[in-house]
Structure 1
Amino acid sequence: MRDYYLLADDGRMAQKVVPSGLGLQKENTFDQLPPISVLEVNTDGAQAYTDWLEKPLPMISERMKTITAKYNPSIQWKRVDLIDSETNLRNVYWAMQVPAVDCLSMQTDFHLNGTVKRLVLDTDKIKAHHFFKVQGILEPYIVVSLDAAESFLRRSLNGFVLQKVEQALRREL
């Protein structure tokens, strides 16, 4: 059985670049983006450009995109150029629309407000997916397989943490 991990923001990195100015609404944020966006950022020399940026919407570096595209060729991409207002340096990031997979187990627990209390995946439904969103939940969780996670870690990509996701127990017949 293959392991799966949530791709989450690394809260230990306080000095990450945070792009602003997209003016996006909560719904359909990817659809609102033009094919190429340019955002100004001010790093003050202390902010780091990490490979994973979760806000204002999930974006990944060129290095991370190259790997991710191999694990899920169905992802749609839109380019976001981050321009440092002091140095005029440009860093290319990619906003992504990750296809959702119906892989929730009946063992998943929810809070009364509909958010996930305990996420449990049904690996029979995942099949050969390696980089995907979980369908049927409010949270925009992105899940990666152990194979994809190892590819990210081998290349020393940063800005994220991996949290192991529980899998449904299969009943023996």
Structure 2
Amino acid sequence: MEYFIVRQDQSITNPIIPLKTDLDDNFVCSSVFGEVVEKENALYLDYLDKPRRIVSDDLKALLAKYEDNLDFTAIVFTDMKKGTQRVYWLMDIVKKNCISHETTYYPDGQMKELVIDPKKVELDCIFQVDSKKQSFTIVNLDVAESMLRRHFLGIQLQRVRLERR
């Protein structure tokens, strides 16, 4: 199986910018309100990395078809100046300890190249990999192909190397 890191497309220069939310790392609630700033011609991307993993309604629907154990919390992004609101979803993803010993790092501890041990992934289609300084959302090839067929905005996929056996 092949795997891909899902990232927010940094080449898009005018995405909405989440300012503040009532989130913390241990929140438990059914919905959250977040303030955003819409620059002129701002784009609502389908995937946001920050402040946490946040997806659009359409992307949520696709991901939920592939993985039963994903939890979503509604977040309502509000631009107070323009008076607009959009519903997005915070994702809570299963964390996997699947980083291979072949993974390479920079001297400051940032990951140079992520390598996954496929034996530790099992059958999950979507999961999260956490290292000391970084966290990644990973999808398998089936999910990646489905995402590419649907023309989602603001998503980049990067192939992940698998550990050699």
What TM-score results when the alignment is normalised by the length of structure 2? Answer: 0.89
Alignment correspondent of 2:84: 89
- Kindly provide the amino acid, as one letter, of the partner of residue 131 in structure 1: I
Secondary structure at the residue paired with 1:91? strand
Cα contact 1:116–1:137 (8 A) shared by 2 = no
Alignment correspondent of 1:152: 147
Match of 1:114 among 93, 109, 112: 109
Please state how far the C-alpha of 1:59 moved relative to its aligned partner: 0.2
Change (3 A) 1:20 1:33: farther
- Kindly provide the amino acid, as one letter, of the partner of residue 92 in structure 1: V
- Kindly provide the amino acid, as one letter, of the partner of residue 139 in structure 2: V
Change (3 A) 1:23 1:112: farther
Alignment of 1:118-157 (within 5 A): 118-157=113-152
Match of 2:62 among 57, 60, 67: 67
Alignment correspondent of 2:16: 17
C-alpha separation in 2, matches of 1:23 and 1:81: 11
C-alpha separation in 1, matches of 2:112 and 2:160: 12
Secondary structure at the residue paired with 1:134? strand
C-alpha separation in 1, matches of 2:92 and 2:109: 23
C-alpha separation in 1, matches of 2:4 and 2:123: 15
Please state how far the C-alpha of 1:107 moved relative to its aligned partner: 1.1
Q: Deviations over 1:50-71 (max 9, x none)?
A: 1001111110001000111122
What TM-score results when the alignment is normalised by the length of structure 1? Answer: 0.85
Match of 1:52 among 42, 47, 54: 47
- Which of the pair is proportionally richer in strand? 2
- Kindly provide the amino acid, as one letter, of the partner of residue 156 in structure 2: V
Please state how far the C-alpha of 1:95 moved relative to its aligned partner: 0.8
Q: Deviations over 1:105-140 (max 9, x none)?
A: 221123344332221111122121111011454311
C-alpha separation in 1, matches of 2:62 and 2:137: 15
Please state how far the C-alpha of 1:33 moved relative to its aligned partner: 5.8
C-alpha separation in 1, matches of 2:23 and 2:34: 13
Stretch moving more, 75-84 or 31-40: 31-40
Which runs of no fewer than 5 residues in structure 2 stay unpaired? Answer: none
Percent identity over the alignment? 28
Paired residue total: 165
Which runs of no fewer than 5 residues in structure 1 stay unpaired? Answer: none
